[in-house]
């Protein structure tokens, strides 16, 4: 039995104009970055989608387009079967209650002059909960994130990074969302705290029946919590499938490179400027976008963009040679390197 489709993203396109100055426009020298190139993603109820890819691959752009914080240039966004691609006003507010985001940088979303209690109370007020009902709901939220009431009188700076992230999660839960989009929620935390927050999200999914879109540049982290892994490179989905398959039998050379870089991650800790700054330059406008970095690239890769090949078990791979296992190094070889 397949669960209901919550969010359906179909062929999303997003372009950023990098130099929008008048001279650039007049001389036709505008540089355009294709941050999303026909990206499709279907999220079913209770799924945990792990979206991975190095910095600059378009993960945040996809997340923001998915929750309609960003308008797309093409494609459609549907929530439970209804298009919200161009929703405004009431329809947009209704959709946004069902879908909440958690960000990496929680510090900036908390007001340093307000107590945690005020923050939570305000989130509940925004959701329309009457004042009298808020204290009980706040206790419920604290219980969900594993914190006690002493935190309510504290100010954001009196909390650790991990505690602040728990509060951010509590705030996102205030509206009782069905889908939580967490964009690198643990990227700025210590490794030990990362596991705690990942476990918390997993627990919440269990207790509340949440659906998660969990974004990270760390494939190992994502594999741990996801029911499905989606790998992005330069604005396209290059591989997707269940975590066991993608992690142990990756079929795209880019995914193999990501795995070979575990535990450090291709971009190492934090956000490297490297991949993002490569921007439009390193990415070819025709053929496979990964070809310039691909150890297996052949002539056809430079002229023809690969279609997504569907391997058994819902394993999708956008590589001309994905079906030919002879070209792939063995799993042990990749994991050992």
Residues forming the site for ligand ADP (CB under 6 A): 16, 18, 33, 35, 53, 55-61, 276, 279
Residue 279 binds which of ligand ADP, Mg ion, none (CB < 5-8 A, kind-dependent): ligand ADP
Residue least distant from Mg ion (Cβ):
60
Select the residue interacting with Mg ion from 60, 100, 163, 236 (CB under 5 A). Answer: 60
Buried residues in 54-63 as b, exposed as e (16+ CB within 10 A): bbbbbbbbbb
SS3 296: coil
Residue 35 binds which of Mg ion, ligand ADP, none (CB < 5-8 A, kind-dependent): ligand ADP
Q: By C-alpha distance, which of 127, 154, 124 is closest to 136?
A: 124
- Rounded CA gap, 177 and 172, in Å? 8
Residue 57 binds which of Mg ion, ligand ADP, none (CB < 5-8 A, kind-dependent): ligand ADP
Strands (E), 65-120: 74-79, 82-83, 99-102
User: Which 8-state DSSP code applies to residue 110?
Assistant: S
Closer Cβ to Mg ion, 60 or 123, answer by number: 60
Q: By C-alpha distance, which of 329, 168, 158 is closest to 257?
A: 329
How many residues line the site for Mg ion (CB under 5 A)?
2
Q: How far is the CB of 223 from ligand ADP (least distance, A)?
A: 18
User: Which 8-state DSSP code applies to residue 3?
Assistant: P
Q: How far is the CB of 276 from ligand ADP (least distance, A)?
A: 4
- Rounded CA gap, 124 and 137, in Å? 8
Residue 282 binds which of ligand ADP, Mg ion, none (CB < 5-8 A, kind-dependent): none
Residue 306 binds which of ligand ADP, Mg ion, none (CB < 5-8 A, kind-dependent): none
Q: How far is the CB of 231 from ligand ADP (least distance, A)?
A: 11
Residues in the chain: 337
Q: Is-contact 48 225, C-beta < 8 A?
A: yes
Instruction: Note whether 255 binds Mg ion by CB under 5 A.
Output: no
Closer Cβ to ligand ADP, 12 or 33, answer by number: 33
Q: Is-contact 7 78, C-beta < 8 A?
A: yes
Instruction: Note whether 57 binds Mg ion by CB under 5 A.
Output: no
Q: Which residues bind Mg ion (CB under 5 A)?
A: 59-60
């Amino acid at each position: 039995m397949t669960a209901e489709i919550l969010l359906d993203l179909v062929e999303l396109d997003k372009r950023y104009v990098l130099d929008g100055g008048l001279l650039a426009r007049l001389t036709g020298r505008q540089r355009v970055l294709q941050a999303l190139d026909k990206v499709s993603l279907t999220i079913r109820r209770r799924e945990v989608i792990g979206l991975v890819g190095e910095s600059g691959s378009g993960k945040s752009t996809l997340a923001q387009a998915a929750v309609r914080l960003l308008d797309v240039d093409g494609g459609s966004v549907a929530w439970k079967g209804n298009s919200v691609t161009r929703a405004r006003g009431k329809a947009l507010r209704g959709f946004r209650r069902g879908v909440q985001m958690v960000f990496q940088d929680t510090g900036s979303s908390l007001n340093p002059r307000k107590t945690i209690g005020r923050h939570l109370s305000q989130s509940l007020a925004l959701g329309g909960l009457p004042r009298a009902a808020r204290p009980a709901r706040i206790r419920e939220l604290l219980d969900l994130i594993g914190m006690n009431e002493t935190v309510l009188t504290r100010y954001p700076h009196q909390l650790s990074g991990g505690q602040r992230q728990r509060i951010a999660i509590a705030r996102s839960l205030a509206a009782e969302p069905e889908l939580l989009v967490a964009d690198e929620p643990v990227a700025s935390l210590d490794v030990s705290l990362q596991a705690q927050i990942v476990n918390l999200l997993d627990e919440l999914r269990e207790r509340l029946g949440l659906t998660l879109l969990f974004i990270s540049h760390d494939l190992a982290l994502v594999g741990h919590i996801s029911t499905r892994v989606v790998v992005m490179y330069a604005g396209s989905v290059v591989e997707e499938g269940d975590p066991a398959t993608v992690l142990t039998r990756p079929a795209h050379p880019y995914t193999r490179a990501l795995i070979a870089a575990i535990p450090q991650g291709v971009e190492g800790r934090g956000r490297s400027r490297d991949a993002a700054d490569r921007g439009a330059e390193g990415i070819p406008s025709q053929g496979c976008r990964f070809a310039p970095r691909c150890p297996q690239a052949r002539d056809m890769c430079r002229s023809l963009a690969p279609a997504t090949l569907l391997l058994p078990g819902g394993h999708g791979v956008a590589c001309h040679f994905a079906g030919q296992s002879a070209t792939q190094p063995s799993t042990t070889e990749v994991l050992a390197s």
